[in-house]
Structure formats: structure tokens, C-alpha cells
Structure 1
Amino acid sequence: MAGVVGVSGSLAGRVAVITGGGRGIGRALALGMAEAGATVVVSSRTGEQLEQVVSEIAARGGQGRAVVADAADEAQARLPVRAAVERFGRVDVLVNNAGGSAPGNHDPFSGDAEAFAATLRLNLESAFWTSQEALPVMRTHGFGRIVNIGSGASKRAAASVGYTAAKHGLVGLTRQLAVSAAAHGITVNCLCPGWTNTSLVDFERLGRAKGVSAAQARADAEAESAQRRVLEPDELVPMAVLLASEAGGGITGQVISVDGGYRL
């Protein structure tokens, strides 16, 4: 991630909250924003992973804080924003990265309705809860950046019904919040990865579900992008930092993909 500041802009003096920040894309964004100068508050359900991220930030000369919270629970979802305000007096950047598919049967014909509802809570409602907590503080300071982490399923049918509905809903939330918050110096954007090399992308499991090998499952995923590859989490960092910075102030209400040309 060397050169993030030069490419994307500085976050010096800013306080950033990143949900789902213990691993994968969230971890990469936390480290990248810390490198760009931000004080970073990371949250997830797994304290050990969060402490590792905070240790990595400190080893690079940055400042971070871990907040254990379940993004699918409204009271807990608001905790990292509150912690940032209590400890640092402000929150300038909010990255709504927590997401995934809730356990259960997602078949629209015979599936579990609670699995659908839980997936909406985790991916869509959680982003509203944290944003609602952060927006008044951002308004007070006349500056704010919200970056919602979408998916290839934010633009097309690409996953379970619940996940695709939630990620499409995140686009609507992004656009409406952008309109509502624009007069207060706040921008809201949706950053969409495609196939990305994280622990949530398990090609062994995907292969079993399709009746093929893990290697074939990966090859099938690679074939869905113009670049014929699975991206690394670090590749989302420069765009995320740009959207979070002063330099990104003219970008709002946008759905931006960093996905290697997924399903063009």
C-alpha cells in the first residue's frame, strides 16, 4: 500500500470508523487509511482479529482502537461511532464494510424467511444505523465521508435473493443519503468489489456446491472479469482513501467498482 497518500489524498487529522474491520477488505482499508494519516476505529464481532489490526496500525506508526460489536444488532452497530466520538471527539469517515450472507436456507421457493431478513439486517440496516449515528457529528464539523462497501451484486443478480436485495438497497441508501447530506459537507458513495481474495471467498466450498473442484471454481470466478483474475483487498484502498479525503469532495452519490471488470 506504499504511496496511498500520493495517489489518493491525505487523511491526516481525520478519524475513521470501519465496520467489519478485522479481516479481508475491512482490514486492508483500516491499514490503508491509517497509512494515509487517519486515526482508525475498527469493529467486528471478533476481538482477537481487531487487536491484531490495531497492532499492525501501531507498528506502522498509526493510532487505532478496537470495538467489539455485532453489526446486525442495532445497539451494538452504533457502538464504534460512539466510541470514536467519546475517545477522539469526532468521526470524519465512516466505512460500512460489515456484510455477508446470514446462515440459513436462501432458496426463494423453500427457504427460511429469517435468513432473508437477517441478511438485510447485516448488509443494509446496519449501514443505516451506523450512518444515522455518524451523520449528526459530521454535520456539526461540516465534513463527513461515508463509504458503503457494496458488491457485484449491487448492480446485477449475482448471489442469493437476500444478499442481492440488500446490496441493491445499499445503492439506494447511498444515493438518498448523498442528497440529504450534501448541504452539510458530507459525501456518501458506494464502493463495489467483485471477486476478491478474502476468507469469505472459499473456493473449496463453492466448488462443492457446484460439483466441481476448487481450482475450477476459482477459474470460473476469474472468467467473470475482464482481467481474468481475483483481486486482492489492497487494490480497493486507493479509491477508498480518495473518497474519504478532501480530494474526493466532488464525488457523491456514486456507485464505483474496483473489480477487474466484473461481468462487463
Structure 2
Amino acid sequence: MILDQFRLDDRVAVVTGAGRGLGAAIARGFAEAGADVVIAARTESDLRQVAEQVAATGRTAHVVVADLADPAAISGLADAAVQRFGRLDIVVNNVGGALPRPLLDTSPDDLAEAFAFNVGTAHALVRAAVPKMLATAGTGSIVNITSTMGRLPGRAFAAYATAKAALAHYTRSAAMDLSPRIRVNGIAPGSILTSALDIVAGNEPMRTQMEQATPLQRLGDPADIAAAALFLAAPASSFLTGKILEVDGGLIAPNLTIPLPDL
């Protein structure tokens, strides 16, 4: 049955930044498809809530409270998966981000920090996870969460966009290094209604403007990204590696412009 190709029965996934937003939706979606999950973030109360939602599906979530900007903390998640569940099949590198800032106010340190948080964290977990995947499952799937801003230029996003573009190319490069046993793909979300867009959700004119600038005439839901992550993690995508799925409502230009003055 074709739907069986979207099952993750008895597989084990690590999802970073899983206390809310995209990471939480992905963890819940994986559990609904049959997986146990290691969920990691800084806020324990958020993680406990997600763990309860996972338990309601009949699966188990192992909570790890950690500062995921620390490469040592993030690399330890692979060990946590094997110690708790005995195997590791899937990694979702979701943690990341950087605040918008005008280009001339963006220091070299700002750029380095954005790269470290968005690319360095992913690499740390990949390096730790791949040996565990090969030893316990024999194969694996890695899903990196990039951003539509990694391919669409916009003012004030130099650090964030550059880091996400680097993560997209890291995905393609890692896929070549880790083939054929480990698949590496990415998702480039557009504007998704998570807490990062609270200011938009509460501002009707701004939300309407963004929706009208999106070909599908709506903003994304975290479930849209969870569904894409499930596809990339599951056997359904077994002939896919080194690719970035653009889950963005059809954007060909940013749908939100930060009103910075010309120089």
C-alpha cells in the first residue's frame, strides 16, 4: 500500500528546537506516523507539553533540556537516542535563526554567530548521529530546515539569509559524502504561522499584505512543514537525496519587506 511508505513504525528520530513551532509539529507528526522521538530545546515546560502530545499517539518522547547553541550539547542528542531507544534513524536539524539587522550594522561576529547557530549546530549533530545510524539502523535520513530567505534576497537578512543558504548547500554536499546509506535533504519554509510571526498574526493589514503577496494566498501552517519532513524521513522519499523542498506557498520574492531607507 502506498500509504505504508509514509509510516515510521518503530523508528527513532531526533528533532532539535522541538519545544514549539516547526520542531514541535514535526515531532508530533513523526509520532503519529509511528516513531519515537528525542525532543530538545531550552524550555522544559514546552518540551513536556510536546511529550504529552506524543504520548497521546501511543509513542514515546525523550525530553532533553539543553542550550542547542552549544555543539557539545547538540551532539549528545545522538547518544541520548541510542541510550533511550536503542537506535537512531532520523535527524531533523530545526534549531536556528538570526535577527534581522541592516547590513552595515551587521558585524563580522554577527555573521559568524548566525553561521554557527544555523550550520555549525547541524554539522555537530550530523557528525555525532551518522555513526549511530549506521551502527544501529544501517541507514538513515537527515532533514535540515533552511529558509526561503536562503534563496530570495531581502533587506536586513544578510546574516540569516547567508547562513540558511549555506545550510542548503551543506545539505547538498553532505548528501554526496553520506550516500548511499544516509540520505540528506532539506526544507525551505516560507512564512509559517509560528511564534516567530506573532507580530504578523496580530496585525491584520500586515497579514493580508503577506497573504496577497503569496501565490497560494495564505500563510503556512506548521503542519505543512511537518508533512514535508515526514515525506523526507519516510521510505516514500527513498530515491531522494541532496534536495531542498521549497514549502513556501509558491514565493518567487519575499512577501514581507522590512522598510529600511535607502543609503
- Given the two structures, how large is their TM-score scaled by the length of structure 1? 0.89
Task: Say if 2:5 and 2:235, in contact at 8 Å, map to a contact too.
Answer: no
> Aligned partner of 1:129: which letter?
A
Q: Secondary structure at the match of 2:196?
A: coil
> Aligned partner of 2:150: which letter?
S
Task: Say if 1:69 and 1:80, in contact at 8 Å, map to a contact too.
Answer: no
Q: Distance in 1 between matches of 2:69 and 2:108?
A: 16
Once the 2 structures are TM-superposed, how far is the Cα of residue 180 of structure 1 from its aligned partner? 0.7
Q: Distance in 1 between matches of 2:213 and 2:70?
A: 34
Once the 2 structures are TM-superposed, how far is the Cα of residue 260 of structure 1 from its aligned partner? 1.2
2:261 corresponding residue in structure 1: none
Q: Distance in 1 between matches of 2:205 and 2:96?
A: 26
Q: Distance in 1 between matches of 2:206 and 2:107?
A: 26
Q: Distance in 2 between matches of 1:134 and 1:222?
A: 38
Q: Distance in 2 between matches of 1:109 and 1:236?
A: 33
Q: Which runs of 5+ in 2 are unaligned?
A: 254-263
Query: Of the candidates 241, 244, 252, which is equivalent to residue 255 of structure 1?
Result: 244
User: How many matched pairs?
Assistant: 250
Q: Which runs of 5+ in 1 are unaligned?
A: 207-212
Q: Secondary structure at the match of 1:90?
A: coil
The answer on 1:161 being equivalent to 2:150 is no
Higher mean alpha-carbon deviation, 109-118 vs 19-28, is at: 109-118
Query: Of the candidates 36, 49, 53, which is equivalent to residue 50 of structure 2?
Result: 53
Once the 2 structures are TM-superposed, how far is the Cα of residue 203 of structure 1 from its aligned partner? 2.4
Once the 2 structures are TM-superposed, how far is the Cα of residue 73 of structure 1 from its aligned partner? 1.1
Q: Secondary structure at the match of 1:99?
A: coil
Task: Say if 1:8 and 1:238, in contact at 8 Å, map to a contact too.
Answer: no
2:120 corresponding residue in structure 1: 125
Q: Secondary structure at the match of 1:250?
A: coil
Once the 2 structures are TM-superposed, how far is the Cα of residue 237 of structure 1 from its aligned partner? 2.1
Query: RMSD of aligned C-alpha atoms?
Result: 2.0
Higher mean alpha-carbon deviation, 157-166 vs 39-48, is at: 157-166
The answer on 1:223 being equivalent to 2:212 is yes
Once the 2 structures are TM-superposed, how far is the Cα of residue 7 of structure 1 from its aligned partner? 8.0
1:137 corresponding residue in structure 2: 132
Query: Of the candidates 15, 27, 32, which is equivalent to residue 30 of structure 1?
Result: 27
Q: Distance in 2 between matches of 1:216 and 1:138?
A: 47
Q: Secondary structure at the match of 2:144?
A: strand
Task: Say if 1:106 and 1:116, in contact at 8 Å, map to a contact too.
Answer: no
Task: Say if 1:124 and 1:166, in contact at 8 Å, map to a contact too.
Answer: yes
Q: Distance in 2 between matches of 1:166 and 1:53?
A: 28
Identity of aligned residues (%): 37
Task: Say if 1:72 and 1:118, in contact at 8 Å, map to a contact too.
Answer: no
Query: Of the candidates 67, 72, 75, which is equivalent to residue 75 of structure 1?
Result: 72
Once the 2 structures are TM-superposed, how far is the Cα of residue 182 of structure 1 from its aligned partner? 0.8
Q: Distance in 2 between matches of 1:111 and 1:123?
A: 16
Task: Say if 2:62 and 2:84, in contact at 8 Å, map to a contact too.
Answer: no
1:239 corresponding residue in structure 2: 228
Once the 2 structures are TM-superposed, how far is the Cα of residue 177 of structure 1 from its aligned partner? 0.7
Q: Distance in 2 between matches of 1:195 and 1:233?
A: 10
Query: Of the candidates 9, 13, 16, which is equivalent to residue 13 of structure 2?
Result: 16
Task: Say if 2:94 and 2:144, in contact at 8 Å, map to a contact too.
Answer: yes
Q: Distance in 2 between matches of 1:59 and 1:246?
A: 24
> Aligned partner of 1:81: which letter?
A
